[in-house]
Amino acid sequence: MAGYCSKDIGSSVDIYLDNLERTFCQTTGCRLNLSMSIFSTLRDTVIIIHAPLGCGSANTSFVNRTTKFQRFRDKDVDGPIWISTNLDELDSISGGESKLEETILYAENEFRPENIIILNSCVPALIGDDIEGIISQIQEEIEAKIILIHCEGFKPRKMEKPFDSIYKGILDNLPDNKSKTNRENLKVNLLNAFQMSTADEQELVRLLEGIGLKVNVSPCYLRPSDIKDVLDAALNISTSNADSYFVQYMRAKYGIPYVLKNMPIGIDNTNKWIRDIARFFNLEERAEDLIDKENKELMKALKPFKGSLAGKTALLIGGSMRTFAMTELLNFLGIQILDVNGNKYSSFTPEIIEELINDKENRIFDTMTAQSFEKANIIERLKPDICIGGIGGMEHGIPSFSVFGQDQISMGYLGVFEMVRRLDRIFKNTSFSKNIGKNSKLPYHREWYEKNPFSYRDESGKSSGSI
């Protein structure tokens, strides 16, 4: 990659991010998409999307899956309900307030939910709907608790921001005071705001319980009224920098400390993750026993797979903590990493990188986002054996390995085993991607592949095309 790297991550990560603008962009996601994914997991809740019809429509593609995961917790649930206020052209001029009001009353009378969550979008923000006003007026008339989440798609640039607004919605509805929590109660919150799958969650709960902790998983898939249980815990455990706002707030307001250092993906990372938590509760001994037993068992299970993957090359693509965490497992397997692309940085990131990667002098990072055209260019140059993290290898004839999916497991020791098993399985037969690679064409001019993959990044600050 010499000559094509953008910037090494050292200091000033946040400053660099502010300049991450492009003069050519491809579509990605927005706060509302993410909010929809997360809030639709909550049970006994109606979501009102205050927007034109299309906002949040990706939900049609995963509603049945969300229902399935909700039923792991409660087999009788009906699945997510969402209502679009269906703002039309006339509303965009005259305002959507009456439609919102009508929708809230319908949600209350028809579904009698515990909570009504309103996701506010670009259009009402531009019209200037007085949503807070409507809520404070209508709240007195109905039983469901109304929670407002601002998710105007044009507002945030970094992907962490949506999580902030989501957590803010949750925090605003917690009581103001709580008595001091004693760490002897051994209660912890394991935070899952959609960053881990159900299988991940089950594995991490198994490990935490293995050292004697009582685990409250929050907030995904809960009943809204159960979220206040987070206040009973002595420690917040996060696996993702998406939780940074929440854990900091909880520490400042309620005095609940947190652990947020790395993602338990990979063997050492999982060991470290357990140790950090155990230290807080003085459970080091129990932790070492567990780690020792688990590591031995895992190593034995991995033995048949290890040799087959050594020497392969990989390109890492995706969100920072997860991506960086993957480096450990790949190193362990002897898979050579050609480039590391993380798409999310926050002030937490440098520490995380310090934690995860010791030889950063020798490795090139670039802040590639979900921008497919840059990805295509880089894959074409590097021609890895596998693309790990996001998608993107198929049309190049290269298999891809997704590190995260709601139906997959990547965390804890079981996550290591299952990922290794999957990697091994993928390499056993790569015919499908080879066939597609030979018989498809990506939508770029040939000349694009000859250019620097970062040619359309604009650090002048003039362009606004954002990630």
Partner 1 sequence: MRGFIEKPRYLCALGGALATIRALPQKTIPIIHASSGCGGNLSAAINRACGYAGGGYCSGHSIPSTNVIERDIIFGGEDRLREQIKNTLEIMDGNLYIVVTGCMVDMIGDDSESITREFSDYKAPVLFTETGGFKGNSYKGYDLVLQTIFKNFVEKTDEREEKTVNLFGIVPFQDIFWEGNLRILKELVSKLGYKVNTFFGEGETLEDLKKSSKAALNIVVSNVFGIDAVRVFEQEHGVPFITVDLPIGEKGTERFLKTIGKELSIPEEKVQEVIDEEKGYYYRYLNKVAGNYDNLDFQRYAVVVGDSNYTQALTGFLADDLGWLPELVMVTDMLDDEEKKVVLKGFGNYDSGFKTNVIFDTDSSNIPKHLENIWPNNNESRYSNSFSPAFVIGSSFERDFAKEIGAQHLSITYPVTDRVVMDRGYVGYKGALCLIEDIFSVLVENR
Binders in 362-381 for partner 1, by CB under 8 A: 370-373
Q: How many CB atoms lie within 10 A of CB 85?
A: 27
Tell me the pairing of strands 81-84 and 45-50: parallel
- Phi, psi at residue 195, to the nearest 5°? -90, -10
Binding residue for partner 1, selected from 173, 248, 430, 466, defined by CB under 8 A: 466
Closest of 446, 414, 432, 420 to residue 205, by C-alpha = 414
88 binds partner 1 (CB under 8 A): yes
86 binds partner 1 (CB under 8 A): yes
Spatial separation of the C-alpha atoms in residues 269 and 352, rounded to whole Å: 11
58 binds partner 1 (CB under 8 A): yes
Alpha helices in 74-146 (DSSP H): 91-94, 97-111, 122-127, 131-139
| Residue 373: CB minimum distance to partner 1, A | 6
In the shown chain, the binding pattern of residues 125 to 164 toward partner 1, with x for contact by CB under 8 A and - for none, equals: -xx-------------------------xxx-x-------
467 binds partner 1 (CB under 8 A): yes
437 binds partner 1 (CB under 8 A): no
Contacts of 152 (CB under 8 A, 6+ apart): 31, 32, 120, 121, 122, 125
Binding residue for partner 1, selected from 9, 32, 146, 207, defined by CB under 8 A: 32
Spatial separation of the C-alpha atoms in residues 278 and 378, rounded to whole Å: 41
Of the candidate spans 31-39, 223-231, 232-240, 266-274, the one that interacts with partner 1 by CB under 8 A turns out to be: 31-39
Cβ atoms of residues 396 and 281 within 8 Å: no
| Residue 417: CB minimum distance to partner 1, A | 28
432 binds partner 1 (CB under 8 A): no
Helix (H, G, I), strand (E, B) or coil at 33: helix
> Half-sphere exposure of residue 195, counting CA atoms within 13 Å on the CB side?
29
| Residue 267: CB minimum distance to partner 1, A | 32
Binding residue for partner 1, selected from 303, 359, 443, 460, defined by CB under 8 A: 443
| Residue 274: CB minimum distance to partner 1, A | 35
Helix (H, G, I), strand (E, B) or coil at 88: coil
295 binds partner 1 (CB under 8 A): no
**Site for partner 1 (CB under 8 A): how many residues?**
72
| Residue 183: CB minimum distance to partner 1, A | 41
